[in-house]
């Protein structure tokens, strides 16, 4: 009887583990710097990090700081796929946008073929926007799950 309960427990544990979801974030950064001077990329981390190792807890009574430094947080193993910049000397370049769309579509299709599902997409623009602003990026995060 104990063996049957033990085997049932192992089967239940294996089922729960198999149902756990896994997430992966891939980011595209597209330059909105005039004259084609920026850099645009798709970035994919090839190593995992545990956020708890870099998290500190602060309360009124206790300021427990994590002693890790920024160098430890950096990911050294990642893929970097070149994209084209939105602008060139003549202004906005729609051909570059179409080329980036083709590369991003290829990346999404590859992830789906590998068993991932595109769960969320979020994007933002960073730019000062003031007079003479020559900097900015359009960033998109693709969040996949399995």
With a cut of 60, say whether residue 44 has pLDDT above it.
yes
Is 141 a member of any domain? yes
Is 5 a member of any domain? no
Please say whether the beta carbons of 109 and 26 come within 8 A. no
Is 9 a member of any domain? no
Got the DSSP string for 102-139? HHHHHHHHHHHHTT-EEEEEEEEEE---STT----EEE
Please say whether the beta carbons of 117 and 144 come within 8 A. yes
H or E element in which residue 17 lies:
helix 2-18
pLDDT-derived band at 14, boundaries 50, 70, 90: low
Is 129 a member of any domain? yes
With a cut of 80, say whether residue 122 has pLDDT above it.
yes
With a cut of 60, say whether residue 17 has pLDDT above it.
no
pLDDT-derived band at 6, boundaries 50, 70, 90: low
pTM of the model: 0.76
Is 115 a member of any domain? yes
Identify the pLDDT of residue 133.
Answer: 66
pLDDT mean over 24-36: 87
Identify the pLDDT of residue 5.
Answer: 59
Encode pLDDT of 83-110 as tens digits.
Answer: 998 887 788 889 999 999 999 999 999 9
Is 54 a member of any domain? yes
State the total domains in the chain: 1
Residue-range definition of the domain harbouring residue 82: 21-145
Is 136 a member of any domain? yes
Q: Which residue has the higher pLDDT, 83 or 73?
A: 83
Is 4 a member of any domain? no
What is the spatial distance between Cα 71 and Cα 15, in angstroms, rounded to a whole number?
38
pLDDT mean over 118-131: 85
């Amino acid at each position: 009887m104990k063996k049957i309960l033990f085997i049932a427990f192992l089967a239940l544990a294996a089922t729960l583990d198999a149902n756990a979801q896994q997430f992966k974030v891939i980011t595209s950064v597209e330059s909105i710097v005039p004259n084609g001077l920026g850099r645009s990329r798709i970035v994919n981390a090839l190593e995992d990090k545990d956020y708890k190792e870099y998290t500190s807890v602060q309360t009124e009574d206790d300021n427990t700081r994590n002693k890790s430094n920024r160098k430890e947080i950096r990911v050294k193993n990642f893929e970097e796929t070149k994209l084209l910049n939105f602008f060139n000397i003549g202004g906005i370049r729609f051909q570059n946008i179409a080329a980036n769309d083709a590369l991003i579509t290829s990346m999404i299709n590859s992830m789906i073929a590998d068993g991932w599902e595109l769960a969320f997409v979020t994007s933002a623009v960073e730019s000062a926007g003031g007079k003479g602003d020559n900097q900015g990026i359009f960033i998109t995060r693709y969040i996949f799950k399995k």
